[in-house]
Chains A and B, each alone.
Chain A
Amino acid sequence: MDIKSPEFKQSARIALQDANLQKALGNLKAGFPGKRAAAVARVPEFEELRDQAHDLKNHILEHLDLYLEEFEARVVENGGQVHWCSTSEDARQTILQICREQNAKTVTKGKSMVTEEINLNEFLEENDIRPVETDLGEYILQLRGDHPSHIIAPAIHLNLEDVSEAFHEHHKRPKSDDPAELMAEAREMLRKQFVAADVGITGANFLVAETGSTLIVTNEGNGDLTQTLPKTHIVVSSIEKVVPTLEDMSLFLRLLARSATGQEYSVYNTLSSGNRRPDDQDGPENFHVVLVDNGRSDMVGTQFQDMLRCIRCSACMNHCPVYGSVGGHSYGWVYPGPMGSVLTPQMIGIEKAGLLPNASTFCGKCEEVCPVRIPLPKLMRHWREKEYEKHLSPKAVRWGLSGWAFLATRPRLYRLFSSSASKVMRMLGGGKGKVTKLPLAAGWTDHRDMPTPTGKTFMQQWDERQKQEKQP
């Protein structure tokens, strides 16, 4: 997927004017926050679960190498293979090689953001292997040549009409605008693919070290058909998803669905431990786990380590007023919203992704709802520090900032400046209490009036009052 993060502002402007997108984003805002709140309210222990999840993730990260070694050993005992991939390219080549060994023509896929991250579909197509997305949302996007705009509701930017048209065009069936019919159509179409596939690729929500299992969470059941029917199952996941035990996985699962869709529990939570056992009548003969690093190990021990606690629930974007205004595609790469604004600079570089951590009011709503208490605003601010250190922020901003800091560290001069600025603004206001155009502040006055100061500065007035009080 092309990186469009440097065009964030432009994309956002277009998104704000896109009536269809705005309508679709209305569905998100009307749905997720209320559902999460209701689900959370039913679990009095929820805050305690969050604390424990936070602490447990930190414990895992402090022992990450040990838990990964354990996980690997158990997978191998279970008859599977683990492949370690530092980069996206490593991961793509590894997966391609497995597919070639199987002489694969068709690959079905469960929903996986890591495979988006490594740009797997395009790569497989270039190598004459046909990837078929099986999650309903992802399937719709694939038909349209589109990409997910949300990590768990990939087609959230589309409306019924878009789906109906895409199906009509690709399935060559009469056009329907009944969501139930459309879903039945996708079910029928994909049944054939599930059976025809040579390889099934899924992601993993968690990797359990104790048992060498991978876990997928879905509501549709597509992931299960993807991994059960073909001869080979490839799990593509990332290294920070390892958890120690089944009990620990349960802690995270109690948080995941509630934070994500507001469900008590997702419909299908499936553990896979190795390949088909002797005498089993179904299940994959080959089981591979492709573990992707892609910059994550570089975050260990840094100020960004907290981000590795993320369990990809999407609560941060579901509640973000910026995401809710511009949608996921504006962010210009795989991971949108607050979690994306922290991850994207790590993965594609702050030079390209600098606008993302800046596009936040630091309202803190994301941190408020994060099940593992990631201080997302703080991490975005750390990226702004990096940007500032590397002199990447725009010159006008830097100059403005250093001029202001010069004054702010000289109280006497500052008072002189603020009293004159107050006077100038009052003159511009001409007694109307506001100005409608202000030089150097077009960003403000293009959209709103600027209330003007109501009199001399407080410091001036306070001074005068003190002097009067002292006079006999």
Chain B
Amino acid sequence: MNKNYLLCLLILSICVGCSYEFSSDNFIDLEPPLTETQYIELLDFTNMDTINVERTLRYTFNGLPNQNTISTRVLLSGQEIGVDWEGTSGTFTLRPEFYQEGTYTITIEHTFSSGSGSIAEQSGVEVITERAIYQFVVNREPSSAPAMLSAEIIDGSIYLTWSTDYGMDYTGAFLSLQYPAREIRIPLTDEELASGAYHDRSTVLYQGNSNTPDFNQYASVTYSILFESEFESNYGASQSLSYDPSSVAVEIIFNDLSTISFRWSAHPMYANFEAFEFSFFGETFSGSSQGGEYQVQTPYVFGESYDLNGRPSGTDILLPNYTYRDVPLNTDSLGVFDLEFLFVKEIVYNPATNSYFIMVIEDRQFSEYVFSIYEYSNAMEFIRKSDQITYDNVRYEYLGISIDPQDNSIIIDARGSAFRMNPTTLMITEEFTSPALSSEKLLRGNILANLDYTSRELTITNVATNTVLTPTFTNIRSLGYLSPDGRYLFVYEDSGNFLYRIDGNQLVEVLDFSQTSFSGSFEIFEDTLFYGSNNEIVIIDLVTNQSTSFQFGATQQTVQYDPVSAKLLVSQNGQNAIYNTNSQEIIRFESEYIKQARGLFSSEDRDYFMRIRNGRLFHSKGIYLDLDLD
């Protein structure tokens, strides 16, 4: 072998050397990751759901047990929003206040380790990102509030029902009570709302007087359900209740001539409060909301109109006072018929027809008055009226009617004229007329007294026999009085004041009243004379000349005698007394006498008057009271 060759071989071996042969890598046979079973789920949400209130949504990642979350994020139309992630679920909040109305996209990106156990996974580079995309609609309006189905008053309280078909997108649900000037909102819990019913135990509707501000602000209420979102609100269909002031009926109960009680009916919502608070002439009293009766201390003025103030008390809202004006009389305790708007001149009772006749002045034309005779039944129901009669005189004070006790015909006094009217036909059967202002006539029974103003002669004539009685009076100052049966005549003469009795065709002086100061009217029943003088009422038996008297009034006393009840009614400017001629008992009472008539007769029809007829006490307003005849 060549030495040089070997030398080169040795040097080459040194230069090349050898290298270490490592073992193979430690290969682990693993399955690559699969993503078929992993998904993101957004809970309680359906694609294109509407978001109209702040809403927190939860989503979950359903992965394999060995897969770990690396990151998760939510993009709202490309903009990342905050997420709270814990365990296997995350939450994020959609706040519609940040967005205009429209459609938005939610992208949930969840990045997690593969779970394969590979080197790449352990190194953190084998990650999988799962995406889920949803859309939602921003609607700032809350769900439509349910419709109110009914609002009813049952057993004095208010019961409401509403539909239970409604959406859940609201931040607040309220029962709205919309009054004309304000709204009350009662928060409803979800449970209360879902029940669809509500018992309103506090609302009381009431109305004040129309001349006060906001008098009807609590007279009606509209119930509805109100849904609120953070931005908007809406009301469901409503149901209304309103209060009619006439629903609480108030009336006056007549107890006696000096005391009354008020009676009121139940308030429609009586179960929602306990009591009314009434006030009457400074007197306040409490009355049950379910109705009741209370006797007031204020003395009753017969025929006077009364107002009563009242309002529900103890309510949540201070309700206004309402004035029950001209509280009507209870017709079981007092008779009522409507004369208020008539110019009533006189009321008489006719036993033949068992009806009442009333003279009513109906018209005035220049110097003439036109009147009719109205007939009312015993129950004071209007039956009919006569033809109109024209009274050709400017002095309506002379108009009057009376009943002829002999034939029960109706006698009409019309100063220069006198009429007899058939009570059955209401036709004039006799008429005595002279020039309008030249004389004054009185017809009683068959006796016609005629005073000629020019000659000052008084002629007394028996019209049945057409005989002029004697003596004939001259120098007469005025024709005083002719008794209903035509038996007594009272005249004012220049020489004095005398009462005559008519015996046959002769006039016989009975009493000389020349020294007597008359202060009121004059009335004779059969042989009993009644008149007012100064501060007393005098009663004289014209047969025996025995007299009695009692204190009453001062001047212008009106005296009326009712033979049926044997009671004497005396009146003066609203002060009245009923004198029992049998027992001498006197009942004193007040009555309303100032009449505020309006219209055509506002200047004449100024006073009410009282009458006692057939045991019945009348007030010319149209009120009557049957007196106890025992």
Verify that A and B bind, or say they do not: no
